[in-house]
Amino acid sequence: MDIRTLGYDHPDAIKLNDQVQLEYIERYGDDGDATPLDASMFVPPNGLYLIAYDADERPIATGGWRTQDKNDEGYSDGDAELKRMYVIPEARGLGLARRILAALEADARAAGRTRMVLETGNKQPEAIALYTSTGYTPCTKFGHYREYPSSRCYAKPLV
């Protein structure tokens, strides 16, 4: 597997984002994730976006982080927010998400961020299992979906 730093607006990122949106629709029955995101949010040193490729140069997993600081959506100074963690179904169980997550945490730490935060939903037990098994704990809700009963927010210190 080859993990590359690419833009959130790269064609492979768009393709995988479309796939994750379809999965959100299947799981939650709504219009997908409407969190406002822009490619500029993932530009180092204020963020990073990664895409993993298999030996056939097929994009198979993504993940990114973006800088967040204290605001009216519940973030705290020093936060790095994890976004768009996704592994295509046929590549799940290979440890790709853990590798991407570790790389994102290391990069956010190097950028001076002090806490990684993420929001997921109660219909994504695989995601919750990944995060809790890697040291994330429930935290006060934040972000676009903080008012939704299905929202689950987690945090992990990076220092």
Kindly tell me if the per-residue pLDDT of 49 is higher than 90. yes
Residues 77-99 have a mean pLDDT of: 97
User: What Cα–Cα distance (Å) separates residue 72 from each residue in 58, 146, 151?
Assistant: 39, 11, 17
Kindly tell me if the per-residue pLDDT of 31 is higher than 90. no
Q: pLDDT band for position 1 (50/70/90)?
A: confident
| Burial environment of residue 137 by CB neighbours within 10 A (0 to 12, 13 to 18, 19 or more) | exposed
- Where do we find the tokens 């994730």? 33
Please give the Cα distance from 84 to 144 (Å, whole number): 14
pLDDT more than 90, % of the chain: 96
Strand order in the sheet with 79-87: 2-5, 47-53, 59-68, 79-87, 115-121, 151-157, 137-138
Torsion angles phi and psi, residue 81, rounded to 5: -100, 125
Residues 107-124 have a mean pLDDT of: 97
Kindly tell me if the per-residue pLDDT of 121 is higher than 90. yes
How much is the pTM? 0.96
What's the whole-number average pLDDT of the chain?
A: 96
| Domains of the chain with bracketed CATH | 2-157 (3.40.630.30)
What pLDDT score does 3 carry?
97
Condensed to tens digits (0 to 9), the pLDDT of residues 33-43 reads 999 999 999 99
